[in-house]
Structure 1
């Protein structure tokens, strides 16, 4: 059966990408030209055609995107793995209202693919926990998500 390719987020994916969640971001390394993959969690989709994420503005991700905008965001949901490719740009160099120096990256989506291998499904959702002060983590997460929503 042929794999279905969407040009934007489905309503189900849009819903799950409107809150913090585990994802990976693949960029083209500015020095080696090879792939560079990082785990991220501050992700927000303001609509079906784009995704925002926040990272430290000194991150290699930022330099990679400035050099080559091609990215792939990967997330696990609904028992499968989604690959979301597009062109990224630094929308904001430093998010306002956040105590850290975070850049806001915008991805303009070109393709959304279900890339799970045939005949299988993810049997447990990915979860993680912050390993520093829980109250401080929750406050920071709220600040970052609100700043992304306002951008």
Structure 2
């Protein structure tokens, strides 16, 4: 059912965000003041009110959040599309247990909205594969997700 609004993650969304997955992140561009959308995959629901994600600490995403902390995470899960609005802050400038220079960002959820258009459902979720060394990618993914779970 479309247009449902929650104050936190419903269980199917929380469960879907317990592993790496494709989501988009909207921030306010620090230079133009317009919207900026990025695709990310290192995302984890810490609890029903908090989401963590990891990105390169030199990313435009970090610059945008430092200037304006309002964000929207868009996720396709539970046969629908959800817009998760919140306030972001850089929790760790550099994640210690990860070999890349990644920042850990914490999002405090303000609203979760089912934004799927009326009378429809998602029948197949987005799938992707890493295009670099598969073993190295799997190792890095494990390191990042484990570090976020410990944070």
Normalising TM by the smaller chain, what interval? Answer: over 0.9
**Any stretches of 5+ residues in structure 2 without a counterpart?**
none
Is residue 54 from structure 1 mapped to residue 57 from structure 2 by the alignment? no
Q: Deviations over 1:39-97 (max 9, x none)?
A: 00000111000100000000000000000000000010122101000000000000011
Say which SS state the counterpart of residue 117 (structure 1) adopts: coil
Between the two proteins, the alignment pairs up a number of residues equal to 151
Under a length normalisation based on structure 1, what TM-score does the superposition of the two structures give? Answer: 0.97
**Which 5+ residue runs of structure 1 have no aligned equivalent?**
none
Is residue 115 from structure 1 mapped to residue 115 from structure 2 by the alignment?
A: yes
Q: Offset at 1:3?
A: 2.6
TM-score, length of structure 2 as denominator length? 0.97
- 1:2 Cα shift? 7.8
Cα contact 2:92–2:104 (8 A) shared by 1 = yes
Aligned equivalents of 1:4, 1:125: Cα separation in 2: 20
Give the match for residue 36 of structure 1. 36
Structure 1 79/95 Cα, relative in aligned 2: closer, same or farther at 3 Å? same
Aligned to 2:91: 91
